[in-house]
Amino acid sequence: MQPSVTGESSKVQEAAKQEETTGGTSQVLALPAKGRSRHIHVKAWVCGIVTILVSITAIALAVWAAASPIGPPKPKPLKCDKASFTPILPSGATLEQVTAVPEGGSFGEGAANIPYPTNPTDLPELCALTVRVVSSPTSFYRFGLFLPAAWQGRFLAVGNGGFAGGINWLDMAPGAHYGMATVSSDLGHNSSVTGLSWALNQPEMRTDWGWRALHGTIVLGKQLSSAYYGKSIAHSYYNGCSTGGRQGLKEIQNFPDSFDGALIGAPAWWTSHLNNDVTRVGIYNLPVSDPKHIPTPLFSVIADEVVRQCDSADGVTDGIVTSPELCTFDFSPLLCGPFSNTSACLTQAQIATAKKVYNDAISTADGSLVYPGLTLSSEDQWYILLGGATDPSPFGVGYERNFLLNDANWDWRKYNDSLIKLAEQTDPGNSTAAKFDIHPYKDRGGKIFMYHGVADGLVPTKGSEYYYNKTIEAFGGKLDDVTDFFRFFLIPGMQHCWSTPVNAPYNIAGAFQAGAMGSGQWSVPGFKDKDHDAVLAMVEWVEHGKPIDQIVASTWRSPLNASSGLSGQRPLCPWPLKATYNGAGEVSAASSWSCPKLSGGGIRLKKPWWSWW
């Protein structure tokens, strides 16, 4: 099945036509109006000569302009080879390779790409470029560009994850299938998602990770794309999750012209706070010898009890915790008694640890918010932040050592909340994306679809809600003033960016989701349309003015295996709305659910609830 993104080339043709006419030489040299002083013969005679001279000059200029390379030339598409691209590269940029990939082919760097070693397969016919760009005297970044043969006039940038240093070829593949020219940057280093040692004493490399590499990639990627096709780009999009979500927000905040529509998944937007919070949360569960330590196998015991108590808070018992905020969780059934199975219960000290994980972290240094806590139902992913045998997660300790303190041997036992102030003040790499007033983006028609899994155990779900609240506040405090360009969707049961431990419908063609299902996948397998694929829904919003009122999420019997068979679908609604069960029909069918209408005054945040922080 083909996505409904065809037939949209009219804008592109229009833009190209405009270029042709305004660039034409015929209208450039209009002759001056004739003189009126005809009764003076001498003047008339002089005028005649002047007119003839002007005419001759005009004709000569016209002929010269037509033949000259200086007038705007009619753009000619380029060939897919190095010789075609080399002359149009700006200084500081070099081509690593240019490869013509046939229909059904594969492309990538394999194992040489540490974080993204899986090459996408079953690609459409395209031209693949790898470009290297010097970004400062001590740094450079690389980016990949897919130029599909069946181009639809659109441009797409995709993001990265964690501290990954590598071109995300796997996430670029869907873009090529949509017919979009697609870029991804390696962000200026070569490392795994959790590798941070590259950043030690490297402020320029941090800046590339923070924002510069993606921005440069977008600017040059657009230039190369329109040169290749010989047409200007009609619309530009973004799709990223986690660090990718942060990158997208940062780009929108600093460069409002980059995109017309952006998918922002589980954004790790508040670097200065989040990465310190990661260390803080890790310390809750360390050292492992302490009675407060919760061993990893007990996380699923807590998870099961959360489902047991919180599943039906939303009115439907389906194994999915849809409304954790409506659940007052009672820890006492988990408490070990004298005859308990110690592999399936928690001590008082362990329960105290769990409570800290759910609670918002408040700075002991100044009482301000560090970060909202993890949400009930996130427990199956607690191993990421709480599973360290000796240290908290590298997302935290690696940040303090290599970004914040420039001390490779810094010991996490020295952690205190004053580091958050320091991080706010220095914000290494300028990566924090906390400029909530994005009027420039809204004013030029930009749209945002932000989403976050409710079962995310890495980047707290409530952090995105907080971001959305802050945006509403920046736009005057009324939800309605934001929903016309920025909508936020919670995905119950989804973990960090993809997958689900409770078989909840989660897949909406967000970043990483297709790649997690296989190297040849793109969009939502079996449902490549605007009702199920948020990228295509975004295209509808941007290009046809149809706001995303709902998107149907999908899951499969084995959630990452499309061949295992579809097992459920359900609409997601714009926050604060939630899909409601119609009272009849299969709970696993999207048609049994509906989204309430988003309108009628909406919510007004009169007195910002966070004002007491």
Give the number of C-alpha atoms closer than 13 A to the C-alpha of residue 565, restricted to the C-beta side.
Answer: 3
Cα distance between residue 534 and residue 227, in whole Å = 28
Residue 68 near ligand NAG by CB under 6 A: no
Is the distance from CB of 370 to CB of 420 less than 8 angstroms? yes
| Cβ closest to ligand NAG, residue 452 vs residue 570 | 452
Residue 465 near ligand NAG by CB under 6 A: yes
Burial 287-303 (b: 16+ CB within 10 A, else e): eeeeebbbeeebbebbb
Is the distance from CB of 233 to CB of 151 less than 8 angstroms? no
Which listed residue (18, 201, 317, 416) binds ligand NAG by CB under 6 A? 416
Cα distance between residue 197 and residue 165, in whole Å = 11
Which listed residue (95, 134, 516, 605) binds ligand NAG by CB under 6 A? 605
Stretch in the footprint of ligand NAG (CB under 6 A) among 106-114, 275-283, 327-335, 524-532: 106-114
Nearest to 518 by CA among 569, 571, 564: 564
Give one DSSP letter per residue of 44-85, joined into a string: HHHHHHHHHHHHHHHHHHHHHHHH-SSSPPPP-PPPSSHHHH
Residue 462 near ligand NAG by CB under 6 A: yes
Cα distance between residue 354 and residue 347, in whole Å = 11
Taking the complex as a whole, the smallest distance from the CB of residue 12 to ligand NAG amounts, in Å, to 33
Stretch in the footprint of ligand NAG (CB under 6 A) among 108-116, 306-314, 525-533, 594-602: 108-116
Taking the complex as a whole, the smallest distance from the CB of residue 220 to ligand NAG amounts, in Å, to 18
Nearest to 167 by CA among 197, 131, 216, 211: 131
3-class secondary-structure state, position 99: strand
Which listed residue (119, 139, 168, 207) binds ligand NAG by CB under 6 A? 207
CB-based contacts of 599: which residues, under 8 Å, 6+ apart? 480
3-class secondary-structure state, position 343: coil
Task: Check residue 100 and give left, alpha or beta (phi > 0: left; psi -120 to 50: alpha).
Answer: beta
x-marked contacts with ligand NAG along 143-172 as a string, rule CB under 6 A: ------------------------------
Residue 561 near ligand NAG by CB under 6 A: yes
H or E element at residue 482:
helix 480-483
| Cβ closest to ligand NAG, residue 332 vs residue 343 | 343
Residue 203 near ligand NAG by CB under 6 A: yes
Which listed residue (51, 84, 296, 430) binds ligand NAG by CB under 6 A? 430
Taking the complex as a whole, the smallest distance from the CB of residue 490 to ligand NAG amounts, in Å, to 11
| Cβ closest to ligand NAG, residue 155 vs residue 299 | 299
Taking the complex as a whole, the smallest distance from the CB of residue 428 to ligand NAG amounts, in Å, to 6
Which listed residue (121, 190, 347, 580) binds ligand NAG by CB under 6 A? 190
Which listed residue (155, 441, 466, 541) binds ligand NAG by CB under 6 A? 466
**Total residues at the site for ligand NAG (CB under 6 A)?**
27
Taking the complex as a whole, the smallest distance from the CB of residue 187 to ligand NAG amounts, in Å, to 12
Amino acid identity for residue 264 in this structure: I
Stretch in the footprint of ligand NAG (CB under 6 A) among 47-55, 107-115, 237-245, 386-394: 107-115
| Cβ closest to ligand NAG, residue 15 vs residue 605 | 605
| Cβ closest to ligand NAG, residue 71 vs residue 203 | 203
Stretch in the footprint of ligand NAG (CB under 6 A) among 54-62, 156-164, 255-263, 602-610: 602-610
3-class secondary-structure state, position 441: helix
Which listed residue (31, 112, 389, 584) binds ligand NAG by CB under 6 A? 112
Is the distance from CB of 593 to CB of 579 less than 8 angstroms? yes
Give one DSSP letter per residue of 496-511, joined into a string: SSS--SS----BSS-T
Q: Omega of the bond prior to 287 within 30 degrees of 0, cis?
A: yes
Query: What are the phi and psi torsion angles at 277 (to 5°)?
Result: -60, -35
| Cβ closest to ligand NAG, residue 130 vs residue 226 | 130
In angstroms, the Cα distances linking 456 to 250, 274, 367, 470 are 21, 14, 25, 21
Stretch in the footprint of ligand NAG (CB under 6 A) among 264-272, 309-317, 437-445, 459-467: 459-467
Residue 418 near ligand NAG by CB under 6 A: yes
Which listed residue (79, 82, 414, 444) binds ligand NAG by CB under 6 A? 414
| Cβ closest to ligand NAG, residue 48 vs residue 565 | 565
Residues 315-344 that bind ligand NAG (CB under 6 A): 341, 343-344
Residue 372 near ligand NAG by CB under 6 A: yes
Burial class (CB in 10 A: 0-12, 13-18, 19+), 87: exposed
Cα distance between residue 130 and residue 436, in whole Å = 34
Residue 314 near ligand NAG by CB under 6 A: no
Residues binding ligand NAG (CB under 6 A): 109, 112, 114, 190, 203, 207, 301, 341, 343-344, 372, 414, 416, 418, 429-430, 462, 465-466, 469, 558, 561, 563-564, 603, 605, 609
